Amino acid sequence: MRRIRRMEERDLEQVCAIENAVFTEPWSRTSFERALKQEQNLYLVCERDSEIEGYCGLWGVAGEGQITNVAVKESARRQGIGRQLLESLLEKGREAGLTAYTLEVRVSNSGAIRLYHRLGFGDSGIRPDFYERPKEDALIMWRL
């Protein structure tokens, strides 16, 4: 059975393994450790039988949530985990007083963009050359 819960430091080995497998510019373990220590931030994992299958997180700033990471390990994709994680993140953010959310996503990541649209995010602009490896624009999205 899967459960979504707050990310803890003990999860970081598995989280970083997913991060390194999914992203061309992965966060370091230190970056996750710092993010977890900030009270206004919220990071969640999806766990099944002590295995982390995905995670997401946001930085809370002035009543808004900047979604920073969303990743699901390859073997667990296409099972609704990303959607469940984001719905939980948005709900917990709302409970914490966040009223708007933003994120950036590679313009080529059509699957993620479709998911964000289904969750109520709208296109807001482009950040040219936001990503380095490979160089690519980011689509800025907001949910108000």
Provide the annotated active-site residues: 104, 116
pTM of the model: 0.93
How far apart, in whole angstroms, are the C-alpha atoms of residue 98 and residue 74? 30
* C-alpha distances in Å from residue 38, one per residue of 11, 45, 79, 136: 17, 17, 30, 30
Specify burial of residue 19 (Cβ count, 10 A radius: 0-12, 13-18, 19+): buried
Residue written as tokens 């296109």?
Answer: 123
pLDDT digits (tens, 9 = 90+) for 98-123: 999 999 999 999 999 999 999 999 99
The pLDDT score that the predictor gives to residue 13 is 97
Q: Please report which helix (H) or strand (E) contains residue 87, including its range.
A: helix 81-95
Q: Would strands 135-143 and 122-132 be described as parallel, antiparallel, or unpaired? A: antiparallel
